Amino acid sequence: MEYSLIDLEPGESGLIKGIVGSSQSKKRLMAMGIIQGKEITVETVAPMGDPRIYSVLGYRLSMRNVEAQNIRIVRN
């Protein structure tokens, strides 16, 4: 079953399947390690639920939910 990254709750993780969206934002995300097959975990949620902090490749990065929506994952 395929989900988007925002479907994950804090503490949950999934495997990245792909990114949809503009090629510019794809490039930006890819350069930061958002790439097919990598595991990604929701670490922290900002006070109003947006943005959130994820961990991928052993480091932390924050993303707004509108971006996270473009990242397809499969649940672990």
Partner 1 sequence: MQGGKITVALVGNPNCGKTTLLNRITRSKESVGNYPRVTVALKRKEFTHQGQVIELIDLPGIYALTSQTPEEREARDFIHSGQVDIIINVLDACNLERSLFLTSQLIEMGHPLLFVLNMADEARSKKLQIDTQGLSSMLGGSVFETVGTTGEGLKELLDGVVMLHAQKTRREPIFLTYDDHLEQSVRRVQRLVTELHPKALDHHQSRWLAIKLLEGDDRILLQEGEHAHLLEMVHRERYDLARSHGEECDLLFAMARYGFTHGVVEEVVQGPSEGEMVRDWTGRLDQVFLHRFFGIPLLLVLLWIMFQSTFSLGKIPMGWIDASVSWVSEWVSGQLPEGMVHDLVVDGIIAGVGGTVVFLPNIVILFFFMAMFSETGYLARAAFLVDRSMHTFGLHGKALIPLVMGFGCNVPAVMATRTIEDYRSRMITILISPFMLCSARLPVFILFAGAFFSEKAGTMVLLMYVLSIVVAMGAAVILNRLFLRSDDDAFVMELPPYRLPTLRAIMIHMGDRVIGFLQKVAGVILVGSIIIWFLQEFPHHQTLSQDYDREISQLALMPQTLQNEEIITALKMKKAQEELEQSYLGQIARTIAPVFVPLHFTWKDTVAILTGFVAKEVVVASYAVLYSQGDRAAENSESLRKALSHSMTPIVAFTFMLFALLYAPCLGTIATIGREAGGWIWAGYSVAFSMTLAYGLSFLVVQIGGLLL
Assess 4 for contact with partner 1 (CB under 8 A). no
Assess 41 for contact with partner 1 (CB under 8 A). yes
- Amino acid present at 20: V
Assess 18 for contact with partner 1 (CB under 8 A). yes
CB of 39 to partner 1, least distance (A): 7
Q: What is the DSSP letter of 48?
A: T
Bridging pattern class, strands 13-19 and 52-56: unpaired
Beta-carbon contacts of residue 51 (< 8 Å; ≥ 6 apart): 62, 63, 64, 65
Q: Residue 9 or 23: which CB sits closer to partner 1? A: 23
- Report the interface residues with partner 1, using CB under 8 A: 18-19, 23-33, 35-39, 41, 43-51, 53, 55-64, 66-67
